[in-house]
């Protein structure tokens, strides 16, 4: 009997060791089981900050902000930071230096430890932009300008692939009808997590979309969810771009009764033509996109 008990105990130990080793073996998808578990849930929140963009992304490992809203919406951003209990921002990405995207950066710097800052590398002369650069330098925060081809690791199996602007576009400076336009070189990037994809566009305009289409195939652009370019303005969301992106849902960040009339009627009609489900911060509040890398759902947090 004692001999049988020893044999049984040895068998249990061997099984435990084999199970422990198997947990780290590649799955059919080429990822380890532990890595898949670590990935967990991806959460993207297009925050309701009025007429501007501020997008919070949480992965298993990192907290990321893409844009920060406008200067006059600081209270809304501060409330969001408190509600979400954000103390550290691993990556702050500014798509372009207009105030309604850069304006809340000072709130992020004041309330959070920011580990890295990225933007499109196109300067402007505003005090807001100058103060932003001074803060980065004073705090010694690592900084990088993103261009087409760059890939950021958001942790937890989530990556951000930059589709524009190209280095040449930034060098030449964004121009529309021969005049400077900071929207043109907005960062366009595709978030990838397993089977889930979401396209971020800043204030991309027709010229931006055309450049992205000329440098990338539809397969590289196609995304399940689209953050509407330029708050749903008629200056973007062209038929060719929507055809390539082929989103199932679009998130529009805009302020109620804004002076620009965003989102424009013709753009909403275009989204409808492509059977794209529309979510708007001016109507439903913060738009939360949740994914486990296989499926996703969108909800409004009014």
- Is residue 134 pLDDT above 70, yes or no? yes
Kindly state the greatest CA–CA separation across the chain.
92
Buried b (16+ CB within 10 A) or exposed e, 269-284: ebbeeeebebbbbbeb
Contact 199, 229 (CB under 8 A): no
pLDDT for the residue 178 = 87
Mean pLDDT within 90-111 = 98
**Edge-to-edge strand ranges of the sheet holding 143-145:** 143-145, 117-119, 91-94, 63-68, 54-58, 42-46, 286-291, 296-301
For the chain, give the percent of residues with pLDDT over 70: 87
pLDDT > 90 in the chain, percent? 84
Q: Residue 27: its pLDDT value, please?
A: 31
Measured CA to CA, the distance from residue 299 to residue 29 in angstroms comes to 29
Radius of gyration of the chain (CA): 22
- pLDDT confidence of residue 1: 43
Domain ranges of the chain: 38-301
Would you say residue 88 has pLDDT above 90? yes
pLDDT tens readout for residues 101-133: 999 999 999 999 999 999 999 999 999 999 999
pLDDT tier, 39 (very low <50, low <70, confident <90, very high otherwise): low
Q: Is the pLDDT score of 155 beyond 70?
A: yes
Confidence of residue 30 (pLDDT cuts 50, 70, 90): very low
Q: Does position 61 have pLDDT exceeding 70, yes or no? A: yes
| Backbone φ and ψ of 30, nearest 5° | 85, 5
Q: For 7-22, write each residue's pLDDT tens digit.
A: 444 443 334 333 333 3
CATH of domain 38-301: 3.60.15.10
Q: Is the pLDDT of residue 302 over 90?
A: no
Which residue in 130, 132, 127 sits closest to 117, CA to CA? 132
> What phi, psi does 298 have (nearest 5°)?
-120, 135
Write down the pLDDT at residue 33: 33
- Hey, which bits of 201-295 come out as E strands? 225-227, 249-252, 277-280, 286-291
Averaged confidence pLDDT in the chain: 90
Whether the CB-CB separation of 165 and 208 falls below 8 Å is answered with: yes
pLDDT for res 24: 33
d(CA 21, CA 226): 40
Beta strands per DSSP E along the chain:
42-46, 54-58, 63-68, 88-89, 91-94, 113-114, 117-119, 143-145, 151-155, 158-164, 175-176, 179-180, 188-193, 196-200, 225-227, 249-252, 277-280, 286-291, 296-301
Q: Which of 4-18, 79-93, 98-112, 170-184 has the lowest mean pLDDT?
A: 4-18
The number of beta carbons lying within 10 Å of the beta carbon of residue 217 is 9
């Amino acid at each position: 009997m004692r001999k049988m008990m020893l044999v049984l105990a040895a068998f249990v130990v061997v099984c435990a060791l084999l199970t422990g080793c198997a947990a780290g073996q590649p799955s059919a998808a080429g990822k380890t089981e532990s890595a898949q578990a670590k990935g967990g849930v991806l959460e993207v929140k297009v925050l309701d900050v009025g007429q501007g963009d501020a997008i919070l992304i949480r992965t298993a490992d990192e907290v990321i902000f893409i844009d920060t809203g406008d200067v006059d919406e600081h209270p809304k951003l501060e409330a969001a930071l408190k509600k979400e209990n954000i103390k550290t921002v691993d990556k702050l990405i500014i798509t372009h230096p207009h105030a309604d995207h850069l304006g809340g950066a000072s709130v992020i710097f004041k309330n959070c430890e920011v580990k890295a800052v990225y933007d499109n590398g196109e300067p402007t002369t505003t005090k807001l932009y100058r103060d932003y650069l001074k803060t980065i330098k004073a705090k010694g925060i690592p900084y990088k300008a993103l261009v087409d081809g760059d890939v950021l690791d958001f942790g937890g199996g989530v990556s951000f692939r930059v589709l524009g602007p190209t280095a040449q576009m930034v060098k030449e400076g964004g121009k529309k009808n021969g005049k400077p336009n900071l929207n043109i070189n907005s960062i366009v990037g595709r978030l990838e997590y397993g089977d889930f994809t979401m396209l971020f566009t800043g204030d991309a305009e027709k010229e931006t979309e055309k450049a992205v289409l000329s440098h990338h195939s539809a397969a590289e652009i196609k995304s399940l969810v689209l953050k509407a370019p330029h708050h749903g303005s008629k200056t973007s969301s062209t038929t060719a771009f929507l055809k390539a992106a082929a989103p199932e849902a679009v998130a529009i960040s805009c302020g109620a009764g804004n002076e620009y009339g965003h989102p424009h009627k013709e753009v909403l009609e275009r989204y409808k033509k492509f059977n794209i489900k529309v979510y708007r911060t001016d109507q439903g509040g913060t738009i939360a996109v949740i994914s486990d890398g296989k499926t996703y759902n969108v909800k409004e947090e009014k």
